[in-house]
A = this chain, B = another copy of it.
Amino acid sequence: MTFSAKRHAKTIATVCLSGTLDDKLVAAAHAGFDGVELFEPDLIASTSSANQVREQCEDLGLEIVLYQPFRDLDSTDPEQFRRNLKRLDRKFDVMAELGAGLILVCSNASADAVTDLDELATQLRAAGDLAQRRGMRIAYEALAWGSTVNLWQQSWDAVSRADHPAVGLCLDSFHILSRSSALANLDEVPGDKIFFVQLADAPHKDMDVLQWSRHYRLFPGEGAFDLTAFTKAVLKAGYRGPLSLEVFNDVFRQASPVRTAIDAVRSLEALAADLDERRTPSRIHAAFIELSVTPTNLASAERALTALGFSRAAKHRSKPVAVWTQNDATILVSVSTDAAEDDSTSIAAIGFETDDPSRVAAAAEGLHVAALPRVVRPGEADLPAVAAPDGVSVFFVSADRDPLDWRRDFESEPSINAVFDGGISGIDHISVTAPFDRYDECVLFYRSVLGMLTEEVAEYPGPYGLVRSHLLRTRDSSGFGVALDGPLLRRGRWSPGVQTPQHIALTTRDIIGTVSKMSSDAPMLQISANYYDDLQARLDLTDEFVSTLMRHNILYDRRAGGEYLHAYTTVIGSQVYFEIVERRGDYRGRPVADAPIRMAAHVAARRGKATSNSVPPSG
């Protein structure tokens, strides 16, 4: 490829952001956008005149690259078409005041849409003549729900038949990818006939495409569409205009526009890095998890780690931090004295090993991720770190014995705990609760800054509401996972569950061996006997196997290709717990159907209710 994404202006439609037009423009400029698509309803509601908006944009350094949308231009009724042209001419008046030269005309979605493509081309040509007289241009777009034109190929057919210098195409990734229309022949379109490109990602949704488009769009890299391939195709076709975001999203509409705009520009920077093949190195590897505990929870955390077979291997030279290890699993336990925080026992940090920590940290800053200040004493490693939007700190460390080796800050100590190998071999994943307004930003963070890939998106019912889950994994062979969990709806005042649960899932190759070695007072979570009864009915397992699982409070799931056996500890402090996981065969993702069982068991444990595992399963 010879193109560079850097050459293209980065712009955003005002409809992506919350607030009045003033708020939106200020936020877009603050985030560093080069310009905006002016969404007409934002202008109409604004108390600023078109002239005032032009001046404000000039002051903010924003170009108005597109005025949009103009609906239902063509008509089967000549008189109506005449009125539509008059309406278009009035919009050109407004655009002249705004200093905007390009208008988006979307395909007619009404019953009055012209069905004959030659007639449509004739009407587009008439509109093009009008535009040309006014010094304007028209970008014609196929809405996915247009009456006649709903595929980009049809819009190109109409535009090429119109054959007018002032009439070109607008390509919107949502309208194209939501219909799965092939991009293969996009390079047949001359680059200079693509007047505008709008980028939006989206999650997979089995729903009406109009509702999907108007409520669930996401910034590139936050959803399930391949925006890199899409953008590559339009750039390859020779498109030279802005890369512009047009995202309708219910959550973004009510979130801080300043934050949303920064998230938006990050999505374009990450896309540009992908296009220019400046990817995050795939060699990134999770080296440790840091658990921050309150002084009162320290003893329970240490008891749990010891019960699981961890040993305290080293302590920090100057801070109250200890390293606990077991084979390839490393957990730092730091004592937090921040009494202001209720939930201050939490997963505080992830340490990622990489060949060049400083370069990865610099790339993160290029993605508008804030670097974390570090207090470093003489002789200590000065580790670059950034803040993930879920509140976890991400450290970049080196595997080599260099100044960025975090291990140099610790001195090993003869273990003060009884040492046994529980068979824990590493960390499968952690889960954290993503803040409601920043869920999609979290997904983009892990994908763009750390190059992680989505393994599974799921939804499950908890006792106090539905939960959504997005599991991402690093590309290295050990495949460390981060699961972003969060309520499907923002919680209200009535909210009796754990607000922001977090957990660390530890890998074992033999879970029955691991739990058998544990002492009887290990803080393992008791699972309902009803679960085992149903498990046996569902999966037709042997009595012996089910009673082994039940005796050890192990949950079980089977999918084509693999099995997943797992057990939990009770909650340490108010939100953190451990999971022990054995994956057999090729089991990808997590058994989310087991989550409600675990959650109900945690509620019962919290309420101090005895479980009834003494009752054997029927059969």
Contact = CB atoms under 8 A, between A and B. Distances in A.
Contact of A533 (B83, B94, B464, B537): B94
Nearest to A618: B93
B87 A538 contact: yes
A115 interface: no
Contact of A603 (B20, B206, B596): B20
Interface stretch (A327-335, A484-492, A500-508): A484-492
A59 interface: no
Interface string A245-280: 000001101111000000000000000000000000
Number of copies: 2
A254 B18 contact: no
Contacts of A540: 83, 86-87
A422 to B, nearest CB: 26
A504 B383 CA distance: 60
Nearest to A437: B492
A528 to B, nearest CB: 5
A236 interface: no
A538 B526 CA distance: 66
Nearest to A495: B254
Contacts of A601: 45, 47
Contacts of A18: 463-465
Interface stretch (A48-56, A302-310, A400-408): A48-56
A49 B436 contact: no
B534 A40 contact: yes
A90 B619 contact: yes
A466 interface: yes
Interface residues of A, number: 77
A103 to B, nearest CB: 13
Interface stretch (A170-178, A194-202, A348-356, A609-617): A609-617
A45 B460 CA distance: 13
Contact of A492 (B90, B254, B533, B619): B254
A254 B489 contact: yes
A535 to B, nearest CB: 9
Interface in A27-85: 40-41, 43-52, 83
Contact of A489 (B52, B489, B538): B489
Contacts of A51: 615
B528 A618 contact: no
Interface string A459-477: 0010111100000000000
Contacts of A48: 612
A256 B494 contact: yes
Nearest to A613: B47
Contacts of A91: 537
A531 interface: yes
Contacts of A618: 90, 93-94, 97
Given A49-B612, A492-B254, A463 B20 contact: yes
Interface in A3-41: 18-20, 23, 40-41
A255 B491 CA distance: 9
Contact of A43 (B93, B208, B530, B612): B530
B44 A528 contact: yes
A323 to B, nearest CB: 37
A88 to B, nearest CB: 9
Contacts of A466: 215, 250, 253-254
A490 B488 contact: no
23 contacts: A20-B463, A20-B604, A41-B596, A44-B530, A44-B533, A45-B528, A45-B600, A47-B601, A47-B611, A52-B612, A87-B540, A94-B530, A206-B211, A207-B207, A250-B488, A253-B461, A253-B464, A253-B466, A254-B466, A256-B494, A436-B492, A437-B494, A489-B490
Which 3 residue pairs spanning A and B have beta carbons closest together? Answer: A254-B465, A45-B600, A90-B537
